[in-house]
Amino acid sequence: MTEISSHTTVLLDEAVDALLGSAGNAPGGTWIDATFGRGGHSRRILSRLSPQGRLLAFDKDPEAIQEAARIPDARFSIRHEGFRHLADLPSASAAGVLMDLGVSSPQIDSPERGFSFRFDGPLDMRMDTTRGQSVAEWLADAEVARIAEVIREYGEERFAGPIAKAIVAWRQERGPLATTAELADLVAGAVKTREQGQNPATRTFQALRIFINAELEELQQALEASLQVLQPGGRLVVISFHSLEDRIVKQFIARHSKEVFDRRAPFATPRPMRLRALDRIKPSASEVAANPRARSAVMRVAERTEV
């Protein structure tokens, strides 16, 4: 494991081995770290590439871009963009694509980013703080039905309705919610029961973060783009941290791992499979013991077929 800026990279060795092949292999070509974060995977990939290899990274977070500037390697470059911009790259230009969908520890542990109910800070949650609405700004105007829909859909929260009503009631009585502590306390009062060991606000914070950053929509766009960008035989490696993400990745790989027949033209040549599912990997017990944030991680690996 590697620690960079207080962030421990999950499934570091397993992800890089799945992407590049067995240790000792020093490939050339162009590789993509679609979610740079704090650079754990990128640094390990660069340590394995040949002098002719290249690594291109993407990240929305300005702090990630600052961290990337600390990598003095001419083979490395980064774009301050979300990974849906994989679609901007030339077709069949990448030997492999890695996506780590987790929120980095510095993001979670920085009160000013507003990702966590454990610290009191502004209710922001934007991955890219240079653009877009914060959670506080969105909640200041959103209707109760829409708030409930977001919390239910993206947080799988069964008390979404009462939470949404409590948010609007707070807004009417005291003005818009402004801090993470205010939201966490409000949710705790609206949630009747919760799984043992889980903070009542966990699902609501997850839902609002996913929504405000359009995370699931961007994941779907990036996965589709990976099909165009990957060369035949290129690897797609995706690490997910909750069931909504993993379901999208699983279904995407399954959908493209089989021939597709057109029912309207039963004698037509079927569309060939575009991916081959290779593996599903969970962190080891020792990794979870050393880094509890790894416990929910699931890594799926697929290979671009020769068509």
CATH of the domain at 186: 1.10.150.170
- Among 212, 229, 254, the domain boundary falls at 212
Q: Is 110 inside any structural domain?
A: no
- Among 158, 183, 212, the domain boundary falls at 212
- Among 188, 212, 236, the domain boundary falls at 212
Q: Which residues contact 298 (CB under 8 A, 6 or more apart)?
A: 239, 240, 241, 246, 280, 281, 282
- Same domain as 244, residue 193: no
Pairing, β 54-58 against β 30-33: parallel
- Same domain as 219, residue 101: yes
- Same domain as 224, residue 191: no
- Same domain as 79, residue 11: yes
- Same domain as 295, residue 221: yes
- What pTM value is reported for the model? 0.90
The pLDDT value given to residue 118: 87
The pLDDT value given to residue 306: 80
The pLDDT value given to residue 307: 65
Residues 172-214 have pLDDT tens digits of 999 999 999 999 999 999 998 777 778 899 999 999 999 999 9
Residues 207-228 have pLDDT tens digits of 999 999 999 999 999 999 999 9
Domain extent for 138: 129-212
Give me the number of domains the chain comprises. Answer: 2
Q: Is 150 inside any structural domain?
A: yes
- Same domain as 164, residue 84: no
Residue 2 has pLDDT above 50, yes or no: no
Q: Is 192 inside any structural domain?
A: yes
CATH code assigned at 48: 3.40.50.150
In percent, the amount of the chain with pLDDT more than 70 equals 93
- Same domain as 207, residue 296: no
- Same domain as 144, residue 263: no
Mean pLDDT of the chain: 91
The pLDDT value given to residue 258: 81
Q: Which residues contact 96 (CB under 8 A, 6 or more apart)?
A: 19, 20, 29, 31, 32, 230, 234, 235, 236, 237
